């Protein structure tokens, strides 16, 4: 028996047709919204205190975005819990492109291993927008520390276990993680002194309250050039153009440090569900800024390398870095504040 073909007034077909119409309407609304975006100020959340590398980069990009879009980009510093408080604030914000996060290796790759009850998921809670920069860490010491290179630091630390205090922007921060990685590789002992942000840690390092720090180049490059801090090494595979005389950690010649790399990275994410058209509009504009000679030079001067890429490349970086740093967090038994 041959069954009759359904008519378009069939409830099932009508439902499917309504669903398609709804999707088409949503796509049209999103497209119109993207064309007029941004029609009001954008808030860029920095999940750390002012003065650190994340804040410096956010303000540089925010200023240029303001000029490009003709709308103010407000920098909102929301520190706490290794950056997770600010990140969670963005994760729960409306997915309309008007609240974005200047993400960082700590907030997007390290916190999943640190906080078992993290209120957001770095993969599921955000839409990757733009990979901003790679920032090699620089190991610096107060001039009172009688060492001139990494090898001498290791020898000094081994001869006087826990005599050196190293600072960071907080438990589980990128600076903390990089130093713990260094300690694991070299079997040295130093005492961690966590601060509420990079800037106060650097201030105490300059004054001699702590002796060692392994942190992003932008936060310490001025003090290096001014002679207040002595650089020992950079964490990248190659030397920085802004600090050409400072060797890489791997150049120390020590077997346990061969291939050592512990760079920080930064990128912008938006709440999950942000229309793809808006994500691409932001990505295109930010990449244009990163490719400009002015920003490239500014970043290089501060020890950072611009990394313009499509959103999906940044998304893959986040996923791979979560897996990369989990063993380090576990081995060093880092506990959040």
* CA distances from residue 260 to 27, 231, 249 in whole angstroms, order as listed: 47, 17, 6
DSSP codes, 93-128: S-SSSSEEEEEEHIIIIIHHHH-TT-SS-TTTSEEE
Tens digit of pLDDT at every position of the chain (337 positions): 444 544 545 555 566 666 666 555 555 555 556 789 999 999 999 998 898 778 989 999 999 999 999 999 999 999 988 789 999 999 999 999 999 999 999 899 998 888 888 999 999 999 999 999 998 999 999 999 999 999 999 999 999 999 999 999 888 888 899 999 999 999 999 999 999 888 899 999 999 999 999 998 888 989 999 999 999 999 999 998 889 999 999 999 999 999 899 998 999 999 999 999 999 999 999 999 999 999 998 888 777 889 999 999 999 999 999 998 998 898 888 877 6
The class level of CATH for 137-257 reads alpha beta
Does residue 77 contact residue 224 with C-beta atoms inside 8 Å? no
Token pair for 110: 């390290």
Instruction: Note the pTM of the prediction, 2 decimals.
Output: 0.77
**Amino acid 291: pLDDT:** 97
Fold: same for 41-135+264-332 and 137-257: yes
**Amino acid 112: pLDDT:** 87
**Amino acid 201: pLDDT:** 95
Give the separation between CA 214 and CA 144, rounded to whole angstroms.
Answer: 17
Peptide bond into 283 cis (omega under 30): no
Half-sphere exposure of 193 (CA within 13 A, CB side): 19
Does residue 131 contact residue 296 with C-beta atoms inside 8 Å? no
Q: What residue segments make up the domains of the chain, in order of their start? A: 41-135+264-332, 137-257
Instruction: Give CATH for domain 41-135+264-332.
Output: 3.40.190.150
**Amino acid 311: pLDDT:** 98
Helices 276-291 & 53-69 angle (0-180, nearest 10):
110
Token pair for 5: 């073909």
Quick one: CA dihedral 33, 35, 38, 39, positive or negative?
negative
Task: Report which secondary-structure segment, H or E, holds 42.
Answer: strand 42-46
Does residue 138 contact residue 220 with C-beta atoms inside 8 Å? yes
Residue 40: strand, helix, or coil: coil
């Amino acid at each position: 028996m041959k069954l009759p073909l359904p008519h378009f007034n069939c409830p099932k077909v009508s439902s499917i047709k309504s669903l398609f119409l709804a999707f088409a309407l949503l796509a049209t609304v999103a497209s119109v919204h993207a064309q007029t975006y941004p029609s009001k100020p954008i808030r860029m959340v920095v999940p750390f205190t002012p003065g650190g590398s994340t804040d410096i980069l956010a303000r540089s990009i925010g200023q240029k975005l303001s000029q490009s879009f003709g709308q103010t980009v407000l920098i909102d510093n929301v520190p706490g819990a290794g950056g997770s408080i600010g990140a969670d604030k963005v994760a729960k914000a409306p997915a309309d492109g008007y609240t974005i996060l200047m993400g960082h290796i700590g907030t997007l790759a390290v916190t999943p291993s640190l906080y078992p009850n993290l209120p957001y998921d770095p993969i599921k809670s955000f839409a990757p927008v733009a990979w901003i920069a790679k920032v090699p860490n620089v190991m610096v010491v107060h001039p009172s520390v009688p060492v001139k290179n990494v090898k001498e630091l290791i020898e000094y630390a081994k001869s006087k276990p826990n005599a050196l205090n190293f600072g960071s922007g907080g438990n589980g921060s990128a600076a903390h993680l990089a130093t713990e990685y260094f300690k694991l590789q070299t079997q040295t002992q130093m005492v961690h002194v966590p601060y509420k942000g990079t800037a106060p840690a650097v201030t105490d390092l300059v004054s001699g309250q702590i002796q060692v720090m392994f942190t992003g180049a932008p936060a310490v490059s001025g003090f290096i050039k001014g002679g207040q801090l002595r650089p020992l090494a950079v964490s990248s595979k190659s030397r920085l153009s802004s600090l050409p005389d400072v060797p890489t950690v791997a150049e120390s010649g020590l077997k346990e440090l061969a291939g050592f790399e512990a760079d920080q990275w930064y990128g912008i994410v938006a709440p999950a569900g942000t229309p793809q058209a808006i994500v691409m509009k932001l990505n295109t504009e930010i990449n244009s800024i990163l490719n400009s000679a002015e920003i490239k030079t500014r970043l290089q001067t501060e020890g950072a390398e611009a990394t313009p890429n499509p959103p999906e490349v940044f998304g893959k970086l986040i996923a791979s870095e979560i897996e990369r740093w989990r063993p380090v967090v576990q081995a060093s038994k880092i506990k959040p504040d």
